[in-house]
Amino acid sequence: MAGPATARRGEKKSPSGPSSAAPPRAPGSWRARIPLRAPGRRGLIIILVTAALLGAFGVWVLYASNWLRLERVRATGTAVLTPHEVVAAAHAPMNEPLASVDTDALARRLRARLPRLKTVDVERSWPHTIGLKVTERKPELLMRAGGRFVEVDAEGVRFATVSAAPRGVPLLEMTASDSPSLHQFGIDRLRRAAVTVARDLPPAVRTDLRKVRVRSYDAVTLELTGGRTVAWGSREEGAEKAKVLTALLKAAHDGRHFDVSVPSAPAVSGS
């Protein structure tokens, strides 16, 4: 009779030792490791030679080849001037490498030769073009010069002389030659003060403005259509004076002389 230790027929014995199968890895826990090796001496030499050749080729393309040379100059943003005038004044070095064109020198040359230009932006447009983006000064006042007119911009800069007065631009008359203000402030500052006064006027009044007369820094007079005059005084409190003048013009339709030099105590006469 078989003992209890005798295995039953047909049953398999379980292994007595630990299982040899490795436990499954969690997803994403395995990372492939690729060994990184520094290039050898020969590989390093090849890399350096290749970089040098590419650099030399790039320099040749920019400065020695015919692929990237200046062939066209274009001007945009003109109003009174023509694009041809701007391009001619720039005097760009045609057929020179585009990379070597001194854009700052072109901008300085344009400002010196064309004072009408207020801003100049010079840009390279690869592969063959220089772009000149300009804005022109706009006249705020005109000064008589013989039979011609000098245009004065919003900054008080005299930038151009024209034979015909632009429509809608008032005249500036400077009569401050004997005024102490001329020695104290200078003619340029007096001219800027006149421009400031004109710009402070509301559009409705500015449309009627025909002349700004400056005797001194604190004695500015305006001449409007219909022979009306305005004692403005200095350029200070310009916004307040403009409001007061607008109200006076609406209220006193028959007024001929308006005084807003002291906006808190305005006066009207000649009605």
Would the pLDDT of 28 be above 70? no
pLDDT digits (tens, 9 = 90+) for 223-258: 999 999 999 999 899 999 999 999 999 998 889 999
CB-based contact 198:168 (threshold 8 Å): no
Would the pLDDT of 5 be above 80? no
Domains of the chain: 69-136 (3.10.20.310), 139-269 (3.40.50.10960)
Would the pLDDT of 81 be above 50? yes
Look at the pTM and tell me if it is higher than 0.85: no
The DSSP code sequence of the chain is ---TTSPPTTPPPPPSS---SPPPPPTT------------HHHHHHHHHHHHHHHHHHHHHHHTSSTTB--EEEEE--SSS-HHHHHHHH---TTSBGGG--HHHHHHHHHHH-TTEEEEEEEEETTTEEEEEEEE---SEEEEETTEEEEE-TTS-EEEEESSPPTTPPEEEE--TT-HHHHHH-HHHHHHHHHHHHHHS-HHHHHHEEEEEEEETTEEEEEEGGG-EEEEESSTTHHHHHHHHHHHHHH-TT--EEE-SSTTS-EEE--
Instruction: Determine the pLDDT at residue 50.
Output: 80
Rounded mean pLDDT of 89-94? 96
pLDDT digits (tens, 9 = 90+) for 56-74: 666 664 565 677 799 999 9
Rounded mean pLDDT of 86-91? 97
pLDDT digits (tens, 9 = 90+) for 97-145: 999 999 999 999 999 999 999 999 999 999 999 999 999 999 999 999 9
Of 125 and 15, the one with more pLDDT: 125
pLDDT digits (tens, 9 = 90+) for 167-212: 999 999 988 766 666 666 678 888 999 999 999 899 989 999 999 9
